[in-house]
Structure 1
Amino acid sequence: MDSRDERLVEIILKYREELQRKIRERKVEMESDNNEHYMLYNALGFTSAEGYQIDFQQNVGRFLYKYAGSLIEELAIKCFKLAYPEAREKVKLPNTIDQSPKTVEIDCLIGNRAIELKWKDATTDGDHIKKEHKRVRIIREAGYVPIRIMFFEPNREQAIRIQARLKDLYNDLGGEYYSGEEAWEYLKNDTGIDLKSILERNGK
């Protein structure tokens, strides 16, 4: 394992440890929870023991989604910074179109490439298109090329349609959009780091 891979694995292990600690803490907290709502679970055919497991796993799921998104974002930014030491992260640009929001954020800025990183985006909200349209315009008008990298594609039909519209939006405004396998390949070809393989090798 080369030094670059080692640094990425360190990040993976850090997130894994933090997530497990968070889950352990929540499990302890839940021991003193008021569980009167279990009567509704019981009425719907679930035992109290099943209700506890559902509540616990719901908490685990929320933590897992949050940590999964943060992990892939930090790993991808690290890949870019290893390949491009001058890369900057979390760069804010002023909103030059209207007053809300006051700024838009670029996850990783490399030269004129303004990269947005997503682990996945399952939104079905039509307003998402409007917000992203404004965001991409602001970035484009600031002289940057907006690039969206989303590592996992949604499964639901409406979310898939939203992503197709976002891809058209990026292309229409002179940007680039990569999702699924194309996203992994973009990162690998651009940085020389096969992050997908590193994650697969370091899974449980």
Structure 2
Amino acid sequence: MSYSAVFDAIVLASYDVGEADRFLILLTREKGRLAARAPGARRLKSRLCPLLPLTHLAVELKESRGGFLVCGITPHHHHNPRVQHLQDFFVRMQASELLLALLSDGEPVPEIFEALSALLHHPHCAEQDTLAFTLRVLALLGVLPEITHRLFAPLSPEERSFVLASMRGTPVNEKISCTRLRSLCTQLVQEHCTRPLRSTDVAAACM
């Protein structure tokens, strides 16, 4: 028997399917990552039109034997600030691709949801924000080594402080050099992903 429930959700990815539907990968606070189909979402007058990547919404889902169907949405306008700069867009896309690569369906991690929500709401994102988010996610998933690990040996005291603050989800306001941290994060992510993240290369080529 099918039932419906409302979830706090962020759209990680959206794919066109059928004549007018969208297939969505959502990150929800309550159930973690899950897939859902939005019937008729590509029609111009559909109430489901706002279901686009990196939007934060309250999504009503109906669960049946065939999976989840979207039957209603309420956009959180205050959580969806307009992206003003290209770098902001790339930071958000890198965060989305990272979660698509690392998260499994049906394993809720509310702290990761909060971290992504905070990143989407950040007025001006920079590479430093991407690195902090990556370290936070890896720490929450339990795959980030302790700061005493040899991987962190080449880092300066300031860079180590950045890593520790990022692991705890503490905002870091001081500007730091991203070169070594970028290399470190790339290495750590590649150890847990089956393929390189494309958005990172695209961002580097365009910035």
Which TM-score applies when normalising by structure 2?
0.29
More helix by share: 1
More strand by share: 2
Which of the pair has more CA radius of gyration?
Answer: 1
